[in-house]
Structure 1
Amino acid sequence: MASMQGGQLPADANPSPINFSRVLQGVLFNSQLRDLTPFLLRKYQKKEQVTMDEMLLTVDQSYHQHFLGMFREYCESINLGFGIEIRQADPFGKVYDLVPILGLTYSGILDEEENIVSKVDILIFILTLIFLEGNCVSEEKLRKQLARWEMLAHKENISFREPWRFIVEDLVWTEYLSYRQVPNSDPARFEFLWGRRTLAETSKMKILLHAAKLNSEDPKAYPELYEEALDEERRAASARE
């Protein structure tokens, strides 16, 4: 995952959404598993359980034994890459629930199986960046970050045509992102915020926990962000009472 590469940050800095183990990245881009991840995402979006037999049907028979040996690593990759936990649902390890950790459904952006890992990577990266930047990010800054993403993707031989178009069309159209003119800006400047679907599906705390996990950090190591996310949790709880 191109946007999830980078070093560890000091504890007094913001958590970065750009740190992802090359080992785990290699799992998601493993050509032997190219059919499994889209299959799991379809199951996830339908809120269906998945069996080990179903998963093995998507993997070449000659790779079955190796897959079983690396299954825990694959589960960790799906958790870090998509915010989805593959949780054992029976005592025999044959049936699994696909549990939303981030809460994102990815509805409307994964209809085509091409580049699904990169699409999710970009979405989570932008949502995290918006939170870290004070709940909005300028178009100029996002373009610079995307250029960095494309550079890293090119180094890793990851092909994704027109990522900016995916952002301003798909992610805005599906309301994962909101795109607006900065108030009172002259000449006009534009910025991105979380869209209505993002606000409905996830939370600042979930995004912070995910970013901290990517960096092997405790979310409380970022007290200002943690307090902001906690305040949002308290307000949501009060609204439900």
Structure 2
Amino acid sequence: MPRGQKNKHHAKEECHQTGGETQDLQDAQAPAAEEKSCSLPSSPHLGVATCTRSASNLQSTSKVRQRGLSTTEPLSVSLRRSRKGAKSKIKRKQSSSQALPSTVKRPKKSLIGAVRQVMSYMMHMHKMKRPILKADMLKVITEIHREQFSEILKRASFKLEVIFGIDLKEVDSVKHSYTLVSKMNLPNNGIVTRGRGFPKTGLLMNLLGVIFLKGNRATEETIWEFLNKMKIYNGKKHFIFGEPRKLITQDLVKLKYLEYQQVPNSNPESYEFLWGPRSHAETSKMKVLEFLAKINHIPLSAFMSRYDEALKDEEERAGVAAIVSDTTTDTS
């Protein structure tokens, strides 16, 4: 194979290899998309830069060789100059590689694995109805991550709230003992079906939010559009929420957290979801708005169209609670 074609072929191989490494980086970093607070380097940019440098270096080397062959200097002189050029290139590479650590910040070791381990431990203890201890959480993560425990605990508790709708509460500040408290009183700690699956409270809170934002009733089509964005599909079993259609049209309806009814005068027939009586009793429109604002990292003012309604609902609830309290006092 001619030398020029060899160089081009070699450059293509290096670019292809770099592209493979870039894809590996993307695959390895894919879970980081779940955590907005986790800042990782952009692997595609690294891949392109590496590939471009490899190709340009090969191209410049090829040009040097061509100039060396076309000169009329004796071969010994040409070889000496080539050696000097090679040495100078090596020195430049060494100096640049030595300067790299001081000018380029290396990414911090990902905490994703440690967060998952802590979450798994907390969920196990929650299911067993046993206290969650800081000392035990420190044992499930590697020693290198223990100095970042407060950040790991913060991320794990946020994920538990977003996914499962449960809050981490400190029970004993001396022993550093915690417990998980569901935002609503779904049976079996939110699992719905005893001994099966994971808590469904987080999904329910999201559904209540969609219904409220849509004017206190949401069509079935709207609900499935929302669920599809969460990678939850009709007729496809989800690894956390099980069979979603049964869950939202039967289980949560039977438990009176949702109402599922035909839209009046709809032709062809269509159905809609409303809050059930237990949702009205166990949470409020304001709490649902606060939940949506927190998990989406936006202020409550972003829901201004519904904030006034939620505020009015809070005032009505406070009035009812005051009446009940006065009635109870008079009776006693």
Relative to the length of structure 2, the TM-score reads: 0.52
Corresponding residue for 2:126?
A: 40
Deviation at 1:145, TM superposition (A): 2.6
Corresponding residue for 1:63?
A: 141
Letter of the 2:223 partner, please give it.
L
- SS of the aligned residue for 1:238 comes to helix
2:312 to 231, 234, 237: 231
More helix by share: 2
Corresponding residue for 2:54?
A: none
- SS of the aligned residue for 1:124 comes to helix
Deviation at 1:220, TM superposition (A): 2.5
Q: Is the 1:88–1:97 contact (alpha carbons within 8 Å) kept by the matching residues of 2?
A: yes
Q: Is the 1:87–1:97 contact (alpha carbons within 8 Å) kept by the matching residues of 2?
A: yes
**Change in 2 beyond 3 A, CA 1:126/1:187:** same
Higher RCO, Cα 8 Å, sep 6+: 1
- SS of the aligned residue for 1:116 comes to coil
Q: 1-side partners of 2:229 and 2:34: how far apart?
A: 15
2:35 to 9, 16, 21: 21
Letter of the 1:75 partner, please give it.
S
**Change in 2 beyond 3 A, CA 1:62/1:183:** closer
Deviation at 1:150, TM superposition (A): 2.6
- SS of the aligned residue for 1:30 comes to helix
Corresponding residue for 1:128?
A: 209
Corresponding residue pairs, total: 207
Deviation at 1:162, TM superposition (A): 2.4
Q: Please state if 1:173 is matched with 2:254.
A: yes
**Change in 2 beyond 3 A, CA 1:190/1:38:** farther
Q: 1-side partners of 2:125 and 2:310: how far apart?
A: 33
Q: Please state if 1:75 is matched with 2:161.
A: no
Q: 2-side partners of 1:32 and 1:95: how far apart?
A: 14
- SS of the aligned residue for 1:178 comes to strand
Q: Please state if 1:145 is matched with 2:159.
A: no
| RMSD value, Cα | 3.5
2:187 to 90, 95, 107: 107
1:204 to 270, 285, 301: 285
Letter of the 2:141 partner, please give it.
Y
Corresponding residue for 1:30?
A: 116
Deviation at 1:165, TM superposition (A): 1.9
- SS of the aligned residue for 2:126 comes to helix
Q: 1-side partners of 2:231 and 2:155: how far apart?
A: 26
Deviation at 1:143, TM superposition (A): 2.4
Relative to the length of structure 1, the TM-score reads: 0.69
Q: 2-side partners of 1:77 and 1:40: how far apart?
A: 15
Q: Kindly provide the CA deviation profile for residues 133-174 of structure 1, in whole angstroms up to 9, marking residues without a partner as x.
A: 11111112222333333369xxxx957552122211211111
Q: Kindly provide the CA deviation profile for residues 7-63 of structure 1, in whole angstroms up to 9, marking residues without a partner as x.
A: xxxxxxxxxxxx963669x579826743531432564xxxxx82406x83xx79553
Corresponding residue for 2:326?
A: none
Q: Is the 2:115–2:156 contact (alpha carbons within 8 Å) kept by the matching residues of 1?
A: no
- SS of the aligned residue for 2:259 comes to strand
Letter of the 2:120 partner, please give it.
R
Corresponding residue for 1:10?
A: none
Q: Which runs of no fewer than 5 residues in structure 1 stay unpaired?
A: 1-18, 44-48
Q: Which runs of no fewer than 5 residues in structure 2 stay unpaired?
A: 1-32, 39-111, 323-332
Q: Give identity over the alignment, percent.
A: 29
**Change in 2 beyond 3 A, CA 1:90/1:34:** closer
